[in-house]
Amino acid sequence: MPAIPKKVKNILDEQWLIFSKKIQQLEKELSLSALSLECDHAAIRVNSTLLADQFRAFLELRGTVISENIINGRPILIFKLTQPLILNGKEVPCIELPYPNDKIYPEEGWEHVEFVVPSHAKSCDQLTEDVLSVIPQLAPHINGQTGVKVKLSSPCGEHERLANPTIALKKDNICIKLHPHSIQDIILSESSEI
């Protein structure tokens, strides 16, 4: 088995523990921790193709690439792990590894996790309405009345047929995203005749 580059090992192991604690704090602040939402994946951000390639090689030893797609002009890989990561007692089955683009991240490593709030929303407005009906405590955050930054987006891969609008809630460089469908359901939609 090839040696694991030190930076890769540090991000996947030591940084994961620190990141998990910060996510747990943000979950509490956002009133999400008691909801038992599915955490479908966690995402890593890197600034160099070399480091992305090292992550890819290592993650291929820990799981399988279930999607390799071009989104916003760059490759984004999704790995389904043989052994899920554990985030505050929840299993996280997948890791998202985007290859770098022009943006330079101040710190490479774990960037966000995504939770599924089941919904049939096809737009960010519909998702916001559905999320607030389930989690009304998010209203002050979504309405810009707190220190949490909110970004609405509708990322879409080339072959995806299932709309997956997203609400990103970010504070102190820690981000939780909410979307209506798991990443694995989105990937399945790429090959279906929906």
Query: Average pLDDT over the chain, rounded to whole?
Result: 89
CA 6 remoteness from chain centre: 23
pLDDT given at position 192: 54
More confident residue, 159 or 70: 70
Find out if CATH 3.10.180.10 is the number for domain 6-190: yes
Domain ranges (residues) in the chain: 6-190
pLDDT given at position 8: 85
pTM given for the model: 0.89
pLDDT given at position 163: 74
Provide DSSP, 64-123.
Answer: EEEEEEEETTEEEEEEEEEEEEEETTEEEEEEEEEPP-S---SS-EEEEEEEE------S
pLDDT single digits (tens) 152-189:
988 655 554 567 899 999 999 899 999 999 998 888 87
The rounded distance, in Å, linking the Cα atoms of 186 and 34 is 26
pLDDT single digits (tens) 102-126:
888 888 999 999 999 999 998 999 9
pLDDT single digits (tens) 72-92:
788 999 999 999 999 988 999
More confident residue, 4 or 99: 99
Sheet (strand 166-171) strand order: 63-71, 74-87, 90-98, 38-45, 109-116, 174-179, 166-171, 149-153
Average pLDDT over residues 13-24: 92
